[in-house]
Each structure stands twice: as structure tokens, then as C-alpha cells.
Copies of this chain bind each other. A is one copy, B any other.
Amino acid sequence: MRVSGLAERTGVPVATIKYYLRERLLHPGTPRSRTQADYDESHVDRIRLVRALTDVGGLDLAAARRVLETIEDPELERLGVLGAAQRSLLGPEYVDVDDEEDDASPAPDSRARRWAAARGWRVHPRDPVLDRLDRAWEACDTAGIGLDAARLDAYADAAERVAEIDVDSVPSEPHDALRQVVLGTVLVDPVLAALRRLAQQHVAVGRAQG
């Protein structure tokens, strides 16, 4: 199909599709003439995936491209699947936690790290997700939300339950696994956020009715 057909199938404007092509978020079609190309179902799927990552997952186009490049990385085997997934999601400023030079410097310390250690979670002390947790925790302090270690532990119990479902649903083949972990991390977060709001209502109604 032509680019106009692609726009019709996906509901994405031609100008946006051309932008995706220029930015290499979308693979080129088969050339038909000097100015035209043919597109197929693989292009439809890819455009829908880009829209899912940006509209629902809330990624900007640079992050979406990093995610898509990661799930297509033929070098994947040498990285752990989770490491590669988190690398792609954390962005270019990501510090390689396995880097030996870094390991020579003293391990960082923070409230999130002390909390995770006290809980017995096996996570790398240099993991930048711990820094994200520190920032998010501090933002709660700023807003006067009483998020003490006990409440964080209660949330962590629920997070472990979610993580068990996540990990159980990962297929064994490494490329499928990476795709599942990366896309699942981005796209299941909005599902969980919606479920949390609906569950709040359900629980609140239950409490109000005794």
C-alpha cells in the first residue's frame, strides 16, 4: 500500500508517518519509483507499536526509538534481559552498573538503598532505579504525603506480587523475553495505574458501607 493507505489503516496522519520514516522509527518501504514506496503489514504493526509507546506509555520519540532499538538488538545475548530492558528505559545517561571502574569507587548510599537492603531485596546498589525511588520518595515528602518505611514496605509487598506475575509471563527465548520485558514494563504501568484508581473507588465504597 502507499503511504496514504498506511495513514488510513492506522489513523496516523501522512505527515507524522513521514516524520517517523525520517527519524527511523519506521523502516523504509519497498521503493516503487523515485518518489514512491510500498508498505505492508509490518509497517502497520510498527506504527501501532510506536503510538502505543508514545500515547499510552507516555514515552517521547527518543525513548520510543531506544526501546525499539533494544528489542531488535542482535547483540542481546551478552546483556541480561532485565539489564538491557532497564538500560533502554532509563535513557542515554544510564550508568553501566556492571562497569568495573565504577565498582572501585565506594558504593552510593541513600534512603532507598538502606530501605532496600533492610528489606533484603537483591538489587544492585548502583542501580539508577534506586535513584528514581529516592526522588519519588522525596517528592512525596515535599507534598506532605506520609510515606514512611512501613507504608513503603506495604507497597513493596504489592510490587513483589506484580513482579512475580511479570517474571512468570516472560517467555524463555531471549528476544521474545526482551520484547516482553521492555514493552511490558512501559505498557503495563498505565494498566496498573488505572487498576489502582478503580480499586481505590471499590475499596472506598466498601469502607463507606462498612
Residues of B within 8 A of A197 (CB): 86, 129, 185
Known: A52-B139, A122-B201. 12 other contacts (CB 8 A): A49-B142, A122-B205, A127-B198, A133-B191, A136-B191, A155-B165, A155-B195, A158-B158, A160-B203, A161-B161, A164-B203, A167-B200
Decide if A199 is an interface residue (CB 8 Å cutoff). yes
Interface range on chain A (Cβ under 8 Å from partner): 35 or more
Which of A34-42, A98-106, A143-151 forms contacts with chain B? A143-151
Which of A1-9, A14-22, A23-31, A176-184 lies at the binding interface? A176-184
Across the interface, A188 reaches (CB within 8 A) one of B140, B167, B205, namely B140
B183 touches A189 (CB 8 A): no
CB-CB under 8 A from A192, the residues of chain B are: 155, 158-159, 192, 196
A166 an interface residue at 8 Å Cβ cutoff? yes
The reply to whether A166 and B55 form a contact with Cβ atoms under 8 Å apart is: no
- Copies of this chain per assembly: 2
- Determine if A61 is an interface residue (Cβ-Cβ < 8 Å): no
Q: Which residue of chain B has its CB nearest to the CB of A193?
A: B189
Complex Cα distance A139/B154, Å? 29
Q: List the B residue with the shortest CB-CB distance to A71.
A: B143
| A163 in contact with B196 (CB, 8 Å) | yes
Query: Given the known A-B contacts A122-B205, A195-B159, are A145 and B200 also in contact in the complex, defined by CB atoms under 8 Å?
Result: no
B139 touches A55 (CB 8 A): yes
Query: A residues 110-125 with Cβ under 8 Å of B?
Result: 112, 116, 121-124
